[in-house]
Amino acid sequence: MARIVAIDSGLTVTKAVVFDLAGRQLGVARRNVEQRMPAPRRVERDMTEFWHQTASAVKDALTTSDTAPGDVIAVAATAHGDGIYLLDREGAPLGPGILSLDSRAGAQVTRWQKDGTADRSLRLTGQEPHVSAPSALLAWIREEQPERFARIGHVLACKDWLRFCLTGSIGTDRTEASTAFTDMATQGYTGEALALFGLEALAPALPEIAGSCEIVGHVTEDAARATGLVPGTPVAAGLHDVTASSLGIGAHEPGIMGIVAGTYSINEAVSLTPKAGAGWFCRNAVQPGRWNNMSISPASTTNYDWFLDTLCAADKARAEAAAMSIHRLLAPEIEAGLSRASSVLYHPYLFGSPHGPGPSAGFLGLRGWHDRGDMLAALLEGIAFNHRHHVDILRAAFPAQDARLTGGASRNPTVAQLFADVLDMPVSVTETDEAAAWGAALCAGVAAGAFDAIEADPRDLDAISTRHTPAPERAAHYRARYAAFRAINEEMKDAWDRLNALDTQDRGTPHDR
């Protein structure tokens, strides 16, 4: 039986998923990948360890899915976008990979915002530079690590490093290439973008661009030993994980809003013409002549995970001991909290916000009679409100009638209905758990000739999707709460700055107090 292997690597977990040609998930294996934080604002990973963990996941997925390696017709990877993975001119890792949670380049971005570079970048490339953009990170390396900068031979994205490990070939795809140095109109590299950031010297280091559905190499003998794949197995170029998720949930057509509720609040809309705006990134879609417009911030369901890890540890341990899901255990509390009036609001800015570096997370309106269910309800509402901030920006420029939702939280019908009510639009959730991996698998299947095009998705999306329709009274309820959420956002700006200033004050030693 023909199989496809898709690799999906995020910020903490790398996974391999085996699919059949009907789009059914046959097996998945996950490995944790250590994040290293050698200094404030620096978030990195060891590139060699990352490859070894990924290769191990591929081997495990083949075993658990009972897949004969010879049945794999193609492989493709998707992974976190932005950040950078550098090679020297001999193809060896040039220091650790830098993840998209890294914010060391804040000074460079601030300078560009003040001197007009950010505005010029928006008009040319379709996006303003941000702290984890390749442009900003490379400028930081140029200024802070000039010896490392001088040795750069290849500038890769995360999934491009995995492709190199699998095949020995260096390159990228259309979606990943558009993170910093492409012309929004032509969809190809432009020296003008490099010059804009003072990075002209890196022109030879930019990887060649292929289509996401093109075969770009074959599994090497070394990679075969590490992964269990057959040497010579075709490898497709793959794609950026935001775009892969869009494919995986069927949101790669105009008029549909794609939403990923995960570590990042990811919201995207495909357009047939390029359109730049300060609230989104205009990047290449998989198909030429299409653009994927993304409005993103690191403020989604990672807040829920933090709450469980920090405030529900004992309950998690009891649930695990009873072979019960902590989500199921908390469900009655959450549903009760969502069903009653409450003054509690939560701003989900634990790791960042769409409003700059100042805002932080917090509960407001707590009273002595509120319980954990009220806090969890407010937390989930806050996550949905942050998604609405992005969705409103996008649908003002790219009208959409429906939304498709993915991410771990989407499996909870209560959460999916909450999104429908908060967004006041129908929200559908597919049965495909690993949506980004399926997006990569679609590209691999097209590359191998199993599918005619990415539009020829073999799944019946209507049959495997659950549609959640907003209830008018609940939508009105959340309009009022969202208005309060936004107003407090504005009113808190100075307060957040004062709170951040406290972060730099030394408390002194205990005997001094």
> 198-217 pLDDT, tens per residue?
999 999 999 999 999 999 99
CA angle 137/138/141 to nearest 5° reads 90
Instruction: Assess whether 88 and 161 both reside in one domain.
Output: yes
- Residue 295, sorted as left (phi over 0), alpha (psi -120 to 50) or beta, turns out to be beta
Strands 265-271 and 291-297, bridge-based pairing: antiparallel
Instruction: Assess whether 225 and 316 both reside in one domain.
Output: no
* Angstrom distance (rounded) from CA 251 to CA 486: 27
Strands 427-430 and 256-261, bridge-based pairing: unpaired
Provide the pLDDT for residue 509.
65
433: which DSSP letter?
Answer: S
* Angstrom distance (rounded) from CA 186 to CA 197: 19
Strand, coil or helix: 503: coil
Provide the pLDDT for residue 263.
84
Provide the pLDDT for residue 395.
96
* Angstrom distance (rounded) from CA 42 to CA 39: 6
Q: Stretch 258-271: mean pLDDT, rounded?
A: 94
Q: With beta carbons less than 8 A apart as the criterion, state whether 432 and 248 touch.
A: yes
> In this structure, what token pair is assigned to residue 273?
């013409």
Assigned domain for 408 exists: no
Which of 221, 243, 265 is the endpoint of a domain? Answer: 243
Assigned domain for 307 exists: yes
Q: With beta carbons less than 8 A apart as the criterion, state whether 244 and 87 touch.
A: no
* Angstrom distance (rounded) from CA 434 to CA 450: 20
Instruction: Assess whether 316 and 232 both reside in one domain.
Output: no
Q: With beta carbons less than 8 A apart as the criterion, state whether 94 and 138 touch.
A: no
**Rounded to whole angstroms, what are the CA distances from 376 to 45, 248, 327?**
32, 29, 11
Res 512 pLDDT > 60: no
Q: With beta carbons less than 8 A apart as the criterion, state whether 284 and 174 touch.
A: yes
Question: Measuring CA to CA, which residue among 340, 229, 213, 344 is closest to residue 285?
Answer: 213
Instruction: Assess whether 32 and 134 both reside in one domain.
Output: yes
Strand, coil or helix: 81: coil
Question: Mean pLDDT in the chain?
Answer: 95
* Angstrom distance (rounded) from CA 316 to CA 329: 9
Which of 243, 258, 286 is the endpoint of a domain? Answer: 243
Ranges assigned E (strand) in 291-360: 291-297, 345-347
* Angstrom distance (rounded) from CA 116 to CA 119: 5
CA-CA-CA-CA torsion for 209, 210, 215, 217, nearest 10 degrees? -10
Assigned domain for 23 exists: yes
Strand, coil or helix: 403: strand
Q: With beta carbons less than 8 A apart as the criterion, state whether 138 and 202 touch.
A: yes
Residue owning tokens 């403020």: 299
Instruction: Assess whether 203 and 122 both reside in one domain.
Output: yes
Assigned domain for 420 exists: no
Cβ-in-10-Å burial (0-12, 13-18, 19+) of 310 comes to exposed
Q: Assign 453 a pLDDT band (cuts: 50, 70, 90).
A: very high
Range of 130's domain?
A: 3-243
Q: Stretch 75-94: mean pLDDT, rounded?
A: 97
* Angstrom distance (rounded) from CA 54 to CA 43: 19
Assigned domain for 53 exists: yes
Res 352 pLDDT > 90: no
Helices (H) and strands (E) in the chain, counts: 18, 22
Strands 3-9 and 13-20, bridge-based pairing: antiparallel
Three-state secondary structure string covering 347-398: ECCCCCCCCCCCCCCEEECCCCCCCHHHHHHHHHHHHHHHHHHHHHHHHHHC
Which of 218, 243, 268 is the endpoint of a domain? Answer: 243
Assigned domain for 160 exists: yes
* Angstrom distance (rounded) from CA 354 to CA 146: 31
Res 257 pLDDT > 90: yes
Instruction: Assess whether 227 and 344 both reside in one domain.
Output: no
Assigned domain for 331 exists: yes
453: which DSSP letter?
Answer: S
CB-hemisphere CA count at 13 Å for 209?
Answer: 16
Name the β-bridge partners of 270: 292
Assigned domain for 288 exists: no
The rounded Cα 98 to chain-centroid distance in angstroms is: 15
Instruction: Assess whether 232 and 374 both reside in one domain.
Output: no
Instruction: Assess whether 88 and 202 both reside in one domain.
Output: yes
Q: With beta carbons less than 8 A apart as the criterion, state whether 386 and 352 touch.
A: no
Q: With beta carbons less than 8 A apart as the criterion, state whether 251 and 239 touch.
A: no
Name the β-bridge partners of 236: 215
280: which DSSP letter?
Answer: B
Give Cβ neighbours of residue 452 (< 8 Å, ≥ 6 apart). Answer: 446
| Nearest-10 crossing angle of helices 472-491, 372-397 | 90
Q: Stretch 237-263: mean pLDDT, rounded?
A: 94
Q: Assign 511 a pLDDT band (cuts: 50, 70, 90).
A: low
Q: Report the domain count for the chain.
A: 2
CB-hemisphere CA count at 13 Å for 148?
Answer: 18
> In this structure, what token pair is assigned to residue 366?
């707590």
Backbone angles phi, psi at 211, to 5 degrees: -70, 145
Res 454 pLDDT > 90: yes
Q: Assign 101 a pLDDT band (cuts: 50, 70, 90).
A: confident
Residue owning tokens 């890769």: 156
Instruction: Assess whether 99 and 211 both reside in one domain.
Output: yes
Res 488 pLDDT > 90: yes
Q: What is the pTM of this model?
A: 0.91
Instruction: Compute and round to an integer the Cα radius of gyration of the chain.
Output: 23
Provide the pLDDT for residue 468.
97
CATH code (residue 363) = 3.30.420.40
> pLDDT tens across 7-43, in order?
999 988 999 999 999 999 999 999 999 999 999 889 9
Instruction: Assess whether 165 and 88 both reside in one domain.
Output: yes
Instruction: Assess whether 52 and 187 both reside in one domain.
Output: yes
Instruction: Assess whether 308 and 232 both reside in one domain.
Output: no
Ranges assigned E (strand) in 272-317: 281-284, 291-297
